[in-house]
Structure 1
Amino acid sequence: MNATDPTATGPTATDPAATGTTATGTAASAPAADGGSGALAPAPAPGGDPFAPSTGAVRVFAGTGLVLLVGAFLVTVVLMLRQSFAGDGAPGPLRELAMWSLSLSGLVGLWAMCLPGDAVGHRVRRGAVFVQYALMAGGPLLAAFDPS
C-alpha cells in the first residue's frame, strides 16, 4: 500500500487516524482500537501444551457426575427403605442430610457444567466437580450409617 495512492484502503500517512508512521509500517497491521473488524485475533502460543487444563474435560466430568447422581439417588432410597422396613418403620435422623447432600451435588454439578468458560477459572470449576462427587458419595454413605 502506498501513502500517495488515492485508491488505497486503510489508514495512510496523510490520514489523521493513522497510528503508525507509514501505510506499510505499523499502521497497516495495527488492530482497531474498538475491537471491530480490523482487530486481529491473538496468535496461538507456538508449541502449545497438550496437557494444559481443559474446561471441556471438566464439563464432561460434571455431566458424568449428574448421570451417576441418578444411581446414587436410587441407592440412597433403597438403603432408606431397607432401614424403614427392617427397623421401627421410619428412617433415621440422617435421612434429610442424605437427601440434601444429593440435592446439593446436583446443583454444584449443574453450576460446574453450565457456567460460561470465562465466568469462573479452571481451578474453581475443577474444585466444584470434586465437591459434586464428594456430595454424591455422601448421600448413600449417610443413608447407610444412619442409625434407626
Structure 2
Amino acid sequence: MPGRESDQGYDPSEFVAGPTGKVTLQTYVPASLYNKVKQVQQTGRSAELIVLTAVNAAADEMPELIRKARGPVHEGGLFPGLQVLERGPGRPKHIEPANTRLQYQVSARWLPALRGVAQKYNLRQSVLARLALGHYFGIPVSIDRVR
C-alpha cells in the first residue's frame, strides 16, 4: 500500500553508499522516541552511534521484538498469521504512531553488519531501526508506521 511502511522484507537498495562513503538512512518513529534520540545527540553522540548501539543491543532479541511489535496473531486454524482481535477487559495498550522522520548516516564500515541484521530477520532497514530504538529506549513501537 503506498505511503505505508511495513516489514515487507529486506531491501538491498536501502544500503547503497553515496559519494561521501556514507549512506543516509531514515526511519519513522514515535515523537517520544525521536525526542529521546535528539536528547542523546545533544550530549555529543551521533545519530549513527545511537542507532547502531540500539541495533547491537537488540540483535539477539529481534525475533521476540518482531513478535511483540506485530501483536498477537492466530497460530493455526483458517487464518494463520491474522491479527488476533483481543476482547479482554481493560483498555488496550496504546502504541504511539510512528510519524516522525529520523534521518541518520551510516559509514560504509558499518553497513555490512547492519545489512546482515536486516537480511537475517527479513526486515527493511527502517523497521529494524525503529524496533531497535524502541527496545533501547523502552518505548513500545509497531512494525507498521500506522496501526
TM-score by length of 2: 0.24
TM-score by length of 1: 0.24
Higher strand proportion (structure 1 or 2): 2
Q: Greater RCO between the two (CA within 8 Å, min separation 6)?
A: 2
